[in-house]
Structure 1
Amino acid sequence: MDTRQLEYFVAVAEELNFTRAAARLFAVQSTVSAGIRSLEHDLGTPLFERSTKRVALTSAGSRALPEARSAIEAIDRVRSAAAENSRDIRGRLRVGIFTSLDYLDLPGLFGEFHERYPLVDLQLTASASGSTGFTDDVRRGRVDLAFMGLAAQDLAGFQVLELTRSDFVAIVPSSHPLAGRAQVDLAELTTETWVDTPAGFGNRVIIDRALAERGLSRTIGAQVSELGAVAQFVAAGLGIAVIPIVAYSPTPATSAVTLEPPVTWSLSAITRPGASPAIAALLDLLAERFVGARRA
């Protein structure tokens, strides 16, 4: 058994596809397949059920997967512990990101991280199911760290670094009767057609919860997978929206109205307890950028 075999196993287990796993590892598929067969021979049991249509973990494979991930992380810790300076930190770092919040400046953030830690294999991915999808990804070890828009009550068991808080605002077309109002109650918006993100996105979870707590319901006419694009659909006349103010870019075609009573959205980074050196380095950079700036 060697490290590369464990990497093959984890990749195939996460992708459930040998071709995608090989592409992810920049390896030839036959090499990955041979490595898995060798590992199964060494362990004395099959790790995958294979057919022409699907690949699935066996019960033994499911039990072995978290241990394989831990073994790879332990090896990364050994290499990082022996490093002469922080630039020698090694390891794979898989990060779940939002792609539509300019506030985060993720290109700049990860560009700086790569410059500081060039030996870290940085892999960025988005989730089609938003924050709830990322919590499952982090919990199951498919992602090491994820940006998150859920409330603290939804994040039990994770290491959580809160980056910022933002109040929700109602976004309406500039011609709407509510435009120019100083504030609006959620109840006044329930007769409108809404634009929102899909179920599972953190901002949607929080607003759904706020409505439910007051016994309110609404009609959603359009679901947009990019939070930052919601206001554009409001501008096009497809409805009103309620989104965090940090996700709103003012335009002449829309107006933002403060909610009263307020509803707050928290943006955090989450990871499993016991962070690897690479994860710890990214958390430190996030704290510098966001927590430090908030305290300054």
Structure 2
Amino acid sequence: MDLQQMRYVVAVAETRNFTRAAERCSVVQSSLSHRIADLERELGVRLFARSSRRTELTSAGEAFLSGARECLAAADRAAADAAAAAGIVRGRLAVGVLVTTAAVDVPELLQRYRARHPDVRVQLRAGGSDELAEAIRRGELDIAFLGLPEGVRPSGVEALVLDDDEHVLVVPAGHRLAGAARVALADVADEVFVDFMRGTPARDQTDLAFTAAGLVRDVAYEAGVVELITRLIARGLGVALLPSAFVRPLVDGNPELALVMVVGGPRRVEYLAWNRFNPSPATLALLNVLGVGARRRTHANGTERT
């Protein structure tokens, strides 16, 4: 058994197709098939159930896949550590990004990172803060940009506060509150709301604020992205409370929408989070690009601003 055979198994498991797996691994399909067949004979089990239309892992294949991924990750880490000892940063860097991240210009950051460390393969994954934090804990992501309600801290990860931000009310241009200087939550409790999906940190930020104020609101429309939320608002279907630093550039210059300051509204804290146990050289390199080494970190017992 060797690492290349493990890579072939992972590729077939992820693509569910021997042809696509061979293309991913830059090898002819016959060679890949023979190597996997050799591995199956060595193990004495079948890893894949195959037909002319489908390829699926067997129960033995499922069991093998987990260990194979761990072995490949360990091998990649060993190579990266050896290169780092010689002053070269290599390997993979998996970055998670909250789509409403505003504290850091992530594309610009990754551009600077690539200029310094061109041998690192960066993988970018967007998602909600809760799923990104869990991916770090599982080892699927190295580092992520999160946004959580004020008073809610990332758990099980190393984290740094990047910024905190208040929410603003987003309304259609012709709304009764469009010209108001500022409003309180009680002033908008009877409005129909557009918001993120229930149970996500992005939604919790506003839900917690209304609960703390002893108010109940009607969320008629749920969406996964801010662009859809603002389009629904522009059509007069509701209003929303969104992080000001992110939404202001989207609304400024848009004649269909207006922003109103909110007194006692939700607040969001943006974090940089990473695996606290033995971060990879590629992760440490990104922290260095961000200047994190000179900053203070936040742990489970409290937060500190940068």
TM-score surpassing 0.5? yes
- 1:155 deviates by 2.8
The residue aligned with 1:197 is: 196
With 146-155 and 270-279 compared, the bigger mean Cα shift is at: 146-155
- 1:242 deviates by 0.4
Letter of the 2:263 partner, please give it. E
Q: Secondary structure at the match of 1:155?
A: coil
- Asked if structure 2 preserves the Cα contact closer than 8 Å seen for 1:93 and 1:279, the reply is yes
Q: What is the distance in 1 between the residues matched to 2:214 and 2:60? A: 44
Larger Rg: 2
- Residue 176 and residue 115 in structure 1: after superposition, are their counterparts in 2 closer, same or farther (change >3 A)? same
The yes-or-no answer on 1:266 pairing with 2:266 is no
Q: What is the distance in 1 between the residues matched to 2:43 and 2:197? A: 43
- 1:92 deviates by 1.9
Over residues 83-139 of structure 1, what are the superposed CA-to-partner deviations in whole Å (9 max), with x where a residue is unaligned?
378873111222223456566332222121111111112222333xx2333334334
- Asked if structure 1 preserves the Cα contact closer than 8 Å seen for 2:101 and 2:145, the reply is no
- Asked if structure 1 preserves the Cα contact closer than 8 Å seen for 2:178 and 2:258, the reply is yes
The residue aligned with 2:259 is: 256
The residue aligned with 1:88 is: 88
The yes-or-no answer on 1:146 pairing with 2:149 is no
- Residue 221 and residue 2 in structure 1: after superposition, are their counterparts in 2 closer, same or farther (change >3 A)? same
Q: What is the distance in 1 between the residues matched to 2:215 and 2:289? A: 41
- Residue 21 and residue 188 in structure 1: after superposition, are their counterparts in 2 closer, same or farther (change >3 A)? farther
The residue aligned with 1:283 is: 287
Letter of the 2:226 partner, please give it. L
Q: Secondary structure at the match of 1:222?
A: strand
- 1:54 deviates by 6.5
The residue aligned with 1:167 is: 166
Q: TM-score, structure 2 length as denominator?
A: 0.74
Structural RMSD (CA): 3.8
- 1:64 deviates by 5.7
| Structure 1 residues 1-296: aligned runs within 5 Å | 1-12=1-12, 25=25, 33-47=33-47, 55-56=56-57, 58=59, 61-62=62-63, 65=66, 67-83=67-83, 88-99=88-99, 101=101, 104-127=104-127, 130-151=128-149, 153=152, 155-199=154-198, 201-214=200-213, 216-227=215-226, 230-248=229-247, 249=249, 250-251=252-253, 252-272=255-275, 273-287=277-291
Q: What is the distance in 1 between the residues matched to 2:168 and 2:86? A: 42
With 235-244 and 14-23 compared, the bigger mean Cα shift is at: 14-23
- Asked if structure 2 preserves the Cα contact closer than 8 Å seen for 1:195 and 1:240, the reply is yes
- Asked if structure 2 preserves the Cα contact closer than 8 Å seen for 1:79 and 1:89, the reply is no
Q: What is the distance in 2 between the residues matched to 1:140 and 1:18? A: 28
Letter of the 1:78 partner, please give it. A
Q: Secondary structure at the match of 1:73?
A: helix
- Asked if structure 1 preserves the Cα contact closer than 8 Å seen for 2:185 and 2:265, the reply is no
- Asked if structure 1 preserves the Cα contact closer than 8 Å seen for 2:9 and 2:65, the reply is no
With 261-270 and 219-228 compared, the bigger mean Cα shift is at: 219-228
- Asked if structure 1 preserves the Cα contact closer than 8 Å seen for 2:161 and 2:269, the reply is yes
- Asked if structure 2 preserves the Cα contact closer than 8 Å seen for 1:73 and 1:91, the reply is no
Q: What is the distance in 1 between the residues matched to 2:166 and 2:112? A: 29
**Count of residues in correspondence between the two structures:** 292
Q: What is the distance in 2 between the residues matched to 1:203 and 1:90? A: 34
Letter of the 1:257 partner, please give it. V
